[in-house]
Amino acid sequence: MILAIAAALAIVVQDHTPLRSAAQSGATELTTLWQGDVLEVRGEQAGYLQVYNYRRERGGYLRSEAVRPLGLTAGDAPELLAVLRFLRESRGYEALGISYGAAYIKAVPAQALTAEPLEAIARMAERLADTASGSSGSGVDIGAHLDVVAQFGLHMRSFERNGHMQVCYDGELFQRVLSLPQASAEERALAALSLTRPDCIDPALGPVARTTLDHERGEVLEKIQERDLTPLTRSRLHARRAAVWAALAFAEARQGQTPTAAAQRAVSELLSVRTRDLGEDRRSDYTEAAIRVSASRWASAVPSVNLEGFKLSSAPGDPGQSCITLHASQPAAASLVQRCTYGIAWLASAQVVAPGQAVVLAVQPLESWRELWIFHRRGATWVVDVVPPGFNEPEVGYIDYAGYAPATKRLLIALEVKEHGHFRHSFEELRLDDLVTVRQAGSPELLRDFGRWQDSSWRRDTLALR
């Protein structure tokens, strides 16, 4: 016999909770419920509750220990907030925490609502999205948890990045935190950092839309006051600003504007980062920002007027293209070789490597990716070879010309790249004739030619030796 009780709400606290057709363990399983699912309780019988789940539009029976009663009055708000605070940092329980957070917002009087529960829900939604992207290695049923939180109006965006699915929270509650006057400086700064994540930018975004987005990211970060921030958050803020200003420098150059100020601002913000405040867990924020700034570092340089027997010129090619031509100064500025690109060819980076034999040029096809073009003689002809910083996931990386060893005819290069979520920092020696890597090391001191033949201007300006 079922005992009739007043209509009440309950929240599922266990994953893989079976909803059965009758109050017995052998009854047919109608569906599976997950942590965070909210139910209407309609009755009780022999350790089972008769419930109705509006998300699934299905009623049935489940064991009473799989749920907890849920009150939505102002008197219930303190208890709901206590549970939310307990769950906000509990990995694997994001759906449950978000459900309790939604209940708290429903229960608390409007005038008593602060930024804390909004920030907590948004943080758990962000962590759930990261888990769905595969960054945390959790084995929970992410798809089911995403379905649970969707009932509370939390929206996720997804897109493909280098063969992997990236899931990102759309950040609506972070925007609300920024708009609340009573939000603390720390809460606002953390919200801004979440809203400006570079890994949550769709790589398929067109140039105009991407530039608009970068300006919006810059505006969000500029509104954050550094006063009253923790040292960790302050350094994270500077690192993020550096990355955004580097992207804006690239966008300005692509639009034919002068990118000098943006590039200098990027370097200035990067130099304001105190790496010891980041700790090991956040050191990657600085490393990635440094790579992004390095990719655009030539934006503030002035082109050289003397290439010792050579001249480089740029002319329009197909729509959106620039064609770079290497000329010999004598006789009559003869054209030696030409190559076209949709990226930015930083003519200020051009250097003669071996007199009469080779010229190097930095070319940036993406806002966070810079390659090295090597114009060199091969037999009786001239060719242009492109040396990228890496070959997997061409998204974040740069390569620098660092010098030339004439005795061995080897190019010295430095590179940093992010591949499969890991950073690689390398110094290498390449044979000039075929560009095969002869030696490489994680530090320039381990390569003899770097000690003797590294380029002085590179050593002065590079971020590879930070």
Instruction: Name all domains of the chain by residue range, CATH numbers in brackets.
Output: 8-70 (2.30.30.40), 111-116+123-299 (no CATH), 303-461 (no CATH)
Measured between alpha carbons, how far is 399 from 427 in angstroms, rounded to an integer? 10
Decide which of 422 and 140 is more confident.
422
The amino acid at residue 238 is H
Q: To the nearest whole percent, how much of the chain has pLDDT over 90?
A: 82
Q: Mean pLDDT lowest for which of 118-127, 268-277, 331-340?
A: 331-340
Residue 3: the pLDDT is 35
Averaged pLDDT of the chain: 92
Residue 394: the pLDDT is 67
Measured between alpha carbons, how far is 179 from 183 in angstroms, rounded to an integer? 8
Residue 170: the pLDDT is 96
Of the candidates 39, 107, 38, the residue with the CA atom closest to the CA atom of residue 79: 107
Which DSSP category does 72 fall into? -
| Cα dihedral value 211, 261, 272, 173, nearest 10 | -30
Residue 4: the pLDDT is 36
Consecutive H or E run containing 268: helix 260-271
Which DSSP category does 3 fall into? B
Tell me phi and psi for residue 379, to 5 degrees: 70, -125
Of the candidates 158, 234, 237, the residue with the CA atom closest to the CA atom of residue 194: 237
Residue 451: the pLDDT is 84
Residue 2: the pLDDT is 36
What is the number of other CB atoms lying within 10 angstroms of the CB of residue 456?
8
Decide which of 425 and 466 is more confident.
425
Local structure of 17: helix, strand or coil: strand
What value, to the nearest 5°, has the Cα angle with vertex 255 and ends 249 and 257? Answer: 65
Encoded tokens for 428? 């290498």
pLDDT at 333 over 90: no
Q: Which residues contact 284 (CB under 8 A, 6 or more apart)?
A: 423
pLDDT at 12 over 60: yes
pLDDT at 331 over 80: no
Measured between alpha carbons, how far is 381 from 383 in angstroms, rounded to an integer? 7
Residue 332: the pLDDT is 63
Q: Mean pLDDT lowest for which of 92-101, 113-122, 303-312, 316-325?
A: 303-312
Q: Do 81 and 104 form a contact (C-beta atoms < 8 A)?
A: yes
pLDDT at 6 over 50: no
For residues 205-225, give the mean pLDDT. Answer: 96
Residue 97 to residues 80, 128, 295, 409: CA-CA distances in angstroms?
A: 10, 11, 40, 62
Tell me phi and psi for residue 276, to 5 degrees: -70, -25
Of the candidates 131, 68, 128, the residue with the CA atom closest to the CA atom of residue 103: 68
Q: To the nearest whole percent, how much of the chain has pLDDT over 70?
A: 96
Q: Quick one: pLDDT band at residue 370, thresholds 50, 70, 90?
A: very high
Which DSSP category does 454 fall into? B
Measured between alpha carbons, how far is 306 from 303 in angstroms, rounded to an integer? 9
Residue 393: the pLDDT is 67
Q: Which residues contact 40 (CB under 8 A, 6 or more apart)?
A: 7, 8, 9, 51, 52, 53, 54
- Which pairing describes strands 369-378 and 397-405: parallel, antiparallel, or unpaired? parallel
